[in-house]
Each structure stands twice: as C-alpha cells, then as structure tokens.
Amino acid sequence: MEATHVATVINAPDAPALRDRDAQRLANGAPWRWLDAGVAFDIGVRGSGAEEAVRERLGDKRADIVVQHVAERRKKLLVADMDSTIIGQECLDELAARAGVGAEVAALTERAMRGEIDFAEALRQRVALLRGQPVALLQRTYTEAVRLNPGARTLARTMRAHGAHVALVSGGFRFFTSRVAAKAGFSSFGGNEFVVENDVLTGEVVEPILGADAKLERLRELLGELRLKADEAMALGDGANDIPMLQAAGLGIAYHAKPTVRAAARGRIDHGDLRAVLYVQGYTAADFIRD
C-alpha cells in the first residue's frame, strides 16, 4: 500500500548529525529520503498514527517529528505569531524592563501566554504600567533588544519565493510588527496600537484589542482573500492566544511552546529552529532562500 502520510524528522541544530543508519532505523523498512543530509528527512507512512511509533524508536535523540497527510503538504499561506516565535523576545517585557517595571509586566505576560488570565485584560494591565514613558523608548527597545529567531528570514523568504503569502499576525504592537515584518521579509503584518499623547504613552491601548479571536479572524480573512482552503494554510505560534488559529489552519505548529499550546496543536517543534517549518512542508536545503 502506498504511503498516505509523511513523518518528517528534524534534528536539533546543536545535536550530532543524523546518519543514514539513524534514518533507516527510524523508518523501520518504510521508504525515506533526506531533505537536508544529517538534519532532516521524510519517512513515508500509512496513517497519522505513525508518530508514536517513530517517537518510540527515536529514544533519547533530540529531534522533532511531525506527521501529516501527503496531500497539500506545501502550504500557500503561513500565519505566524511574532513574540517568542519569529523573534526571541516578548517586546512588551523588553520595553517594561527599560521602563523599570520589568518584573511586574513579565509576570503578567507569562500568565497570559499560559492561558491563566485573559489576554486582553493582561495586555491592558501591562500597558497601564508604561504610563508616562516617552515614545522614543519604543525605538530604543527595538534597536537594543529585538532579534529574529534563527531561520526566520529563511522561512519567510523561501515561502514567498515559492508563491506563498506569509503573514505576521500578532497580539503585539504595530510599532514592532511593522519592523519585524520588514526585516524578516513577511508579506503582511498586523498588531495593536499604543495610545500616544504629546509623544508620551498614556498607558492605554487602542480598542478593540487584537487577541486570539482577531488572529483567527485574520487567518479566515486571508483564506478568503487568497481563495484558499484551510488545508492550504499553516499557523505557527507559542502562546495560548495562538490556539484558535493553530486549530483552524490545515496544520498548526506549536513552536517552542507552552504545554497547553503543545497539547492543542496537531504538530510541534520543540528542538529545531524556524527552518523546521520548511522541512515539514517538504522543502529541501537546496530550496532555501538563505540570508
């Protein structure tokens, strides 16, 4: 019987290179092929239940496994969260640290990302702590702290080069999403807005606040605008407010995510960098548009 699904195995970037015999052992007689020698390979499997068996054979090797249907594997739309996904920071936490309220804001961020408190209310509380800060602090924070996660530019540029729309869909702030989108090479971006008066933050957010529902709605809008089916889209995120869009997309990937998010998503990347999202779609190293 021909394989109906594919299991993609992706090695941790700092782990010893995978070898042919590692791939053969994990494939257990099934057909397999390298996507990037030593780093990632595909195994042809029959049914989505193969993941557990491959994980068991993996043992203590630090690698990710994503199993999906072969059909429409290469996505035409990616919607991605920004903070702690495309970048390695939480922008509000970094801003708050420079404003002298870092500990208070970081604690609220962590609880919101775990789904312990409502995202919108947590955002209002965090921004209120920034009341009176100069707008210039935003640019200082971006310059000093915000860095793309490894593979972010390769992910965005490779997918766009192959005809996909790549959207940054964030509950963060447009000041940051606009700059991150331009730096990484995203097709579009969104985000919340600070209320500013006389070049000072008032401690308020322009309503309505964009959270989980807005991310889901943006995914649906893009599907309609691009005339795509949900199976042709992938969502990527790490926090509780990403769960609705992760579950609505054809493939939702929890990226170095909180436990509740990992449990809710169909796929997860715990070890790899953002290039893993390309391997999952069947891109080979030769396909990558690199920095």
CATH number of the domain that 63 lies in? 3.30.70.260
> What is the tens place of the pLDDT at every residue in 10-53?
999 999 999 999 999 999 999 999 999 999 999 999 877 778 88
Single out the residue of 134, 152, 33, 137 nearest to residue 88, CA to CA: 152
Number of domains in the chain: 2
What local confidence, expressed as pLDDT, does residue 114 receive? 85
For residues 245 and 219, the answer to whether their CB atoms sit within 8 Å is yes
Whether residue 238 is found in the same domain as residue 108 = yes
What local confidence, expressed as pLDDT, does residue 193 receive? 97
Whether residue 115 is found in the same domain as residue 207 = yes
pLDDT higher than threshold 90 for residue 112: no
Four-residue CA torsion sign, 263, 250, 245, 258: positive
Amino acid (one-letter) located at 7: A
Single out the residue of 111, 112, 118, 91 nearest to residue 102, CA to CA: 91
Domain encompassing residue 23: 1-71
Amino acid (one-letter) located at 246: L
**Cα gap 289→44, rounded to integer Å:** 26
Residue of 36, 64, 83, 238 marked catalytic = 83
Whether residue 67 is found in the same domain as residue 80 = no
Confidence band of 1 (pLDDT split at 50, 70, 90):
low
Whether residue 39 is found in the same domain as residue 95 = no
User: DSSP assignment of 229-252, as one string?
Assistant: -GGGEEEEE-SGGGHHHHHHSSEE
Whether residue 215 is found in the same domain as residue 234 = yes
Which region, left, alpha or beta, applies to residue 29 given φ > 0 means left and ψ of -120 to 50 means alpha?
left
Whether residue 99 is found in the same domain as residue 197 = yes
pLDDT higher than threshold 60 for residue 140: yes
Mean pLDDT of 275-289: 98
Whether residue 113 is found in the same domain as residue 209 = yes
**CA distances, 120 to each of 60, 117, 209, 230 (Å):** 39, 9, 6, 26
Give the single-character DSSP code of 17.
P
- To the query of whether residue 242 is one of the catalytic residues in this protein, the response is no
Strand ranges, E, within 58-163: 63-69, 77-80
Mean pLDDT of all residues belonging to the chain: 95
Rg of the Cα atoms in the chain: 20
> What is the tens place of the pLDDT at every residue in 70-81?
988 999 999 999
Query: Domain boundary residue among 71, 88, 108?
Result: 71
Residue of 42, 64, 81, 93 marked catalytic = 81
Whether residue 25 is found in the same domain as residue 78 = no
For residues 151 and 208, the answer to whether their CB atoms sit within 8 Å is no
More reliable by pLDDT, 178 or 4: 178
